[in-house]
């Protein structure tokens, strides 16, 4: 039995068009139109992932 592990960082960015911005509506995030001109609108989601799994059987070398 062998233990395999790693580390991964995922960064996703969203930039809406047409003067829209992100608003939290309960447990959802939705787009709404801002009444004035926006200079910048952006949503960034970062995830740090630690995958771990076990391998059974003979190793292939």
In this predicted structure, the answer to whether residue 59 has a pLDDT above a threshold of 90 is no
Q: CA–CA separation, 40 vs 15, rounded Å?
A: 8
Torsion angle of C-alpha atoms 53, 59, 6, 10, degrees rounded to 10: -80
Mean pLDDT, rounded, for 41-55: 94
In this predicted structure, the answer to whether residue 47 has a pLDDT above a threshold of 90 is yes
* Domain extent listing, the chain: 2-55
Mean pLDDT, rounded, for 22-39: 92
**DSSP assignment letter at 19:** T
Q: Return the pLDDT at 58.
A: 84
In this predicted structure, the answer to whether residue 60 has a pLDDT above a threshold of 90 is no
pTM of the model: 0.58
């Amino acid at each position: 039995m062998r233990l395999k592990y790693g580390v991964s960082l995922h960064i996703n960015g969203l930039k809406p068009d047409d003067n829209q911005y992100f608003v939290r509506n309960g447990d959802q995030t939705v787009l709404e139109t801002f009444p004035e001109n926006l200079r910048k609108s952006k949503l960034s989601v970062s995830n740090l992932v630690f995958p771990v799994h076990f391998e059974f059987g003979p190793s292939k070398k």
